[in-house]
Amino acid sequence: MNDIKDTGETLEAAGKIVQNFNETAALPSYARADILQKISGKIAGLSEDFARLICEEVKKPIKESRREVARAVFTFNWAAEEAKRFGGEVLPLDLDASSAGRLALTRRFPRGPALLISPFNFPLNLVAHKVAPAIALGIPFVLKPAPQAPKTAQKLMKIIFESDWPKGAAAALPCSNEVAEKLVQSDLFSILSFTGSAAVGWKLKSLSGKKRVVLELGGTAPLYIDEKADLAFAAKRTAWGAFYYSGQVCISVQKIFAAAPCYESFKELLLKEIADLKLGDPADENTDIGPLIDKKSEERVENWVSEAVAGGARVLFGGKRLDGVFMPTLIENAPQSCKLNCEEVFGPVATLEKVSNSEEALRKMSEGAYGLQAGIFTNDLNLAVQSWTTLPHGGVIINDIPAFRSDVMPYGGNKDSGSGREGVRYAMEEYSELKTLVLNPQ
């Protein structure tokens, strides 16, 4: 199918979806909540099927695939709860004489149809974080799934329709990036939600016109190990947070800073934890790290490691492929200007650097173009609060890795890491607009 025909057919299909806005927006809260609960239950009933499909499509280790499915079950169920309580405020206006006797009511209304573009790395739960808020508000939507995972998206769409969401009010439309850009430019949609690379995300925002745009674009996920931290716990969590799903997570630990007094001890513990990670077939129950999504990604990661080494960095672990899997790689003293320090690697590579104190750590963690999530291992309450107020990140995680995410909390970044927030309730706020009604009883 050529691009012109593909574009025309895709826009025509999208046009039919958005025409159902009045129908879906009129669905009462209980009906939207019931639909979401049914979706959650049906996913739970097919959890192993979904996990196997995710493992097959995107090479995610089966145990991590199962964890993703469980999170999606929760996300849709939580959206059902939010659909019931997403209300407004009553504001007394008798704060000055001119408005005495008046009363204001506020309520959020859906902005309009939504275009949802999702990445390959969480083909079910990141889709859930876009689709569930739309259903909770009564918004028709078009989902452009990752090209690597069309079957997972279609399986979810089948469940959505089986759960009584109007059949004409949603579609998963796999299409090329060129066609997706035409959808972004189209006036059919009032909302664009995109998760992916910074370069693509900001380009799409520039093409989006007057749409409400939510961008989740990743980052370099810095982490600081304070000398007062529980080093054994920090090392265990850091090894997992840097390398699970081969680092193909936008909040994978990438830049590790450790205080000088604990640096060598932490390094030794971290290397032991990395050595315990199991490489192999994603379908194997014991596998922690499988192959990257494609050969192009393998070559890019390998080139970035080579660039750092050429600039004087030292490979402490890994740095090469083993039986078709790029090994978990820890790099010490990577040059400040190399890609591993400046860009999101999206692979199983982390850098380790010694810092003299927390002030230096916070300064280095604040540098660069990204600001999604950061982590601090410390038992110093003052440092915890200081990091929250100082770091330019959307989320700061204390005594855990930046790769931690609860599906309840607001999630998103600052600077080049994006705009807006996900997390069901917070996405619902992004997808809706506030209206005020002022009453003047006579």
Asked whether the beta carbons of 205 and 40 are under 8 A apart, the reply is no
Give me the residues paired with residue 83 across strands.
none
Distance CA 437, CA 103 (A): 8
Tell me how far CA of residue 380 lies from CA of 230, 234, 343, 358, 383, in angstroms: 12, 15, 30, 11, 5
Q: List residues with catalytic annotation.
A: 216, 250
Sheet holding 212-216, edge to edge: 170-172, 141-144, 114-117, 191-195, 212-216, 418-419
**Angle at CA of residue 30, ends 26 and 34, nearest 5°:** 110
Residue 361, classified by CB atoms within 10 Å of its CB into exposed (0-12), middle (13-18) or buried (19+), is buried
Q: What's the chain's length in residues? A: 442
Distance CA 305, CA 56 (A): 28
Sorted by sequence, the CB contacts under 8 Å of residue 379 that are 6+ apart come out as 226, 228, 229, 230, 399
Q: Which long-range contacts (CB under 8 A, 24 or more apart) does 45-54 make?
A: 46/155, 46/159, 47/73, 49/155, 50/124, 50/152, 50/155, 52/283, 53/151, 53/152, 53/155, 54/123, 54/124, 54/149, 54/152
Two tokens, residue 256: 């590790």
Asked whether the beta carbons of 348 and 243 are under 8 A apart, the reply is yes
Give the largest CA-CA distance in the chain: 80
Asked whether the beta carbons of 411 and 422 are under 8 A apart, the reply is yes
Could you identify the residue written with the tokens 């931690």?
404
Helix, strand, coil percentages, rounded to 5, for the chain: 45, 20, 35
* DSSP category for residue 402: T
3-state secondary structure of 277: coil
